[in-house]
Amino acid sequence: MGLILIAAEVAGGSPSPLTLELVSHARTLGDEVAVVVLDPEADAVLPALGAHGASRAYVGQERAYREHLGQPAAHVVSALVDRVRPALVLFPGTQEGRDLAARVSARLQLPVLANAIDVTGDGDDFLVRSSIFGATVDVVTRTRSRSPLVLVRPKSFTATASGGPPPVTEVLPLPAEAPLGARRLESVVAPSAGPGLEEAKVVVSGGRGMQEAANFEVLEHLARQLGGAVGASRAVVDAGWVPYALQVGQTGKTVKPDVYIACGISGAMQHLVGMKGSSHIVAINKDPDAPIFKLSDLGVVGDALKVVPALIEELRARGLS
């Protein structure tokens, strides 16, 4: 099926986990997997990309890729796609990935499909499965153009090493005529935005039913006891109770922990899309008709402000401080 091109993302000196998921899956789709890495630290991530199956890399290390949003990368990636004519281009379904895929789509007049959860080959075309309406409906789309662009949701595939050597590298210069556009002046890291939500084995999430910001302390306590992380619904992020970094759902993070404990969360479809892949779901909600109960393995109709502190006590009695 020819060449599969992946727009790689770099996070903290490594390929992002989603990038490795895409590279790994691409091995099942094409004869050759190539990555385009536009980042000042591109060099450092090439071995890991090779070890997951990328045999070619197109690299640009200009600072502009960090300092400016979308436009320089779109310029270079579009020219690359036009030249190498990949059978398929996969983009991480992240903020950056979306901006980039949208611009490449517009520049090259190529269709873009978003929110993919699976991609398979079908003759010369590809079948792209995406979930819509809060993951209540699965849609399968057949691509019918050259080089279709597909944005993939996190955790749709598993990253697996192939043990390949570092990829053969070609440097892509950033042409002087490339527009730079919007500039990042500063990056502010929210103090309580700890990492780990996406990796945690247990996620304790709170929604508007927690009543006020201060009550998130009990959720933090419970998460600590269980060695897990705290998540949240968008309602409480928008209310400013917790930072956006904790948001689970369509516009937040996708989590697939062993256990997801939803406290005072109604289960709006935009929330469910980010957590319904959890292995086990526990929900605590006052309303017996809350939609979250439709997919919970253990549902408790009750006041989260009573049940969570009681659970903390119970766990303490079982030796967990």
Task: Map the footprint of ligand FAD across residues 189-218, applying CB under 6 A.
Answer: 207-209
Stretch 69-88 residues interacting with another protein (CB under 8 A): 69-71, 74
Smaller CB distance to another protein: residue 1 or 164?
Answer: 1
Smallest distance, ligand FAD to C-beta of residue 281, A: 14
Instruction: Select the binding partner of residue 107 from another protein, ligand FAD, none (C-beta < 5 to 8 A, by kind).
Output: another protein
Instruction: Select the binding partner of residue 56 from ligand FAD, another protein, none (C-beta < 5 to 8 A, by kind).
Output: none
Instruction: Report the C-alpha gap between 162 and 52 in whole angstroms.
Output: 5
By the rule CB under 8 A, 184 interacts with another protein: yes
By the rule CB under 8 A, 16 interacts with another protein: no
β-bridge pairing 202-206 and 259-263: parallel
Listed ranges 17-25, 56-64, 208-216, 287-295: which one lies at the site for another protein (CB under 8 A): 287-295
Instruction: Select the binding partner of residue 98 from another protein, ligand FAD, none (C-beta < 5 to 8 A, by kind).
Output: another protein
Smallest distance, ligand FAD to C-beta of residue 94, A: 14
Contact 197, 86 (CB under 8 A): no
By the rule CB under 8 A, 305 interacts with another protein: no
Instruction: Report the C-alpha gap between 110 and 100 in whole angstroms.
Output: 13
Smallest distance, ligand FAD to C-beta of residue 202, A: 18
By the rule CB under 8 A, 105 interacts with another protein: yes
Say how far residue 155 (Cα) sits from the centre of its chain.
7
Instruction: Report the C-alpha gap between 284 and 293 in whole angstroms.
Output: 9
Instruction: Report the C-alpha gap between 51 and 281 in whole angstroms.
Output: 34
Smallest distance, ligand FAD to C-beta of residue 212, A: 11
Count of residues in contact with another protein, rule CB under 8 A = 93
Contact 150, 116 (CB under 8 A): yes
- Of the residues 70, 86, 252, 299, which one makes contact with ligand FAD according to CB under 6 A: 252
β-bridge pairing 32-38 and 3-7: parallel
Instruction: Select the binding partner of residue 131 from another protein, ligand FAD, none (C-beta < 5 to 8 A, by kind).
Output: another protein
Stretch 257-276 residues interacting with ligand FAD (CB under 6 A): 264-266, 268, 270-271, 274
Instruction: Select the binding partner of residue 207 from another protein, ligand FAD, none (C-beta < 5 to 8 A, by kind).
Output: ligand FAD
Start-to-end CA distance of the chain, whole Å, equals 55
β-bridge pairing 149-152 and 112-122: parallel
Residue 166 per-residue DSSP state: P
By the rule CB under 6 A, 303 interacts with ligand FAD: yes
Count of residues in contact with ligand FAD, rule CB under 6 A = 28
Q: What is the DSSP string of 233-298?
A: -HHHHHTTSS-GGGBBSTTSB----SEEEEES----HHHHTTTTT-SEEEEEES-TT-GGGGG-SE
Smaller CB distance to another protein: residue 168 or 310?
Answer: 310
Instruction: Report the C-alpha gap between 100 and 43 in whole angstroms.
Output: 21
By the rule CB under 6 A, 155 interacts with ligand FAD: no
10-34 burial: b if 16+ Cβ within 10 Å, else e: beeeebbbbbbbbbbbbbebbebbb
- Of the residues 190, 196, 213, 217, which one makes contact with another protein according to CB under 8 A: 190
Q: Which residue ranges make up the site for ligand FAD (CB under 6 A)?
A: 207-209, 233-236, 247-252, 264-266, 268, 270-271, 274, 284-287, 290, 303-305
